[in-house]
Amino acid sequence: MEGCIFCRIVAGELPCRKIYEDELVLAFMDIAPINPGHILVVPKEHHTSSASISEELGGRMFHVGSRLGVACKRALDMDAFNLHLADGTCAGQVVMHAHLHVIPRGSEDGFHWNWRQKKYTNDDEREQVALKILEKLKI
């Protein structure tokens, strides 16, 4: 897709520090890491949203991301890792070519997800929300 920076990286038109590549995905170092070792797993074909990614491609992204997370833990002496995907601008997606973040984590790395949690007023409200979702669910 024209003008997409990740398509340009995949095409070799822009540089990256490649970590892994196969026929479906390219993984490279994030230019502005949350922690050193932060890697992006990028599908070679352009998808703006994760929703259009096939089961095979999504499975590969998840598989490669998990393996890279384990490699980061072992190589960088970290305790854990996050796999993160932002789908849509208000979810935090900045580059509109879907990608999976692999973020090595340490217990004292000082990074905190802003994981604010709400409560349903009652079971019925939760049930109404669940029914609305199920009406639209197509797998």
Task: Indicate the residue whose CB is closest to Zn ion.
Answer: 4
Residue placing its CB nearer to Zn ion in the complex, 8 or 67: 8
Has 97 been annotated as catalytic?
no
Residue pair 114/92 in contact by the 8 Å Cβ criterion: no
Q: How far is the CB of 17 from ligand 5GP (least distance, A)?
A: 7
Q: In the complex with ligand 5GP, which residue's Cβ is closer, 3 or 118?
A: 3
Name the active-site residue from 63, 99, 101, 112: 99
Q: How many CB atoms lie within 10 A of CB 58?
A: 18
Q: Does 95 bind Zn ion (CB under 5 A)?
A: no
DSSP H helix total and E strand total for the chain = 3, 5
For 35-139, where are the alpha helices, taking DSSP H only?
55-76, 123-136
C-alpha 20/C-alpha 97 separation (Å) is 18
Please give the Cα distance from 35 to 105 (Å, whole number): 7
Instruction: Find, among 2, 1, 3, 6, the residue nearest to 93 by Cα.
Output: 6
Minimum Å gap between C-beta 30 and ligand 5GP is 5
Of 81 and 101, nearer to Zn ion (C-beta) is 101
User: Tell me, what DSSP letter sits at residue 56?
Assistant: H
Site for ligand 5GP in 75-94 (CB under 6 A): 86, 92-94
Pairing, β 25-29 against β 39-43: antiparallel
Please report, as residue ranges, which positions from 10 to 49 form the binding site for ligand 5GP (by CB under 6 A): 16, 28-32, 40
Among 1, 14, 51, 70, binds Zn ion (CB under 5 A): 1
Q: Which residues would be at the binding site for Zn ion (CB under 5 A)?
A: 1, 4, 6-7, 46, 97
Active-site residue set: 99
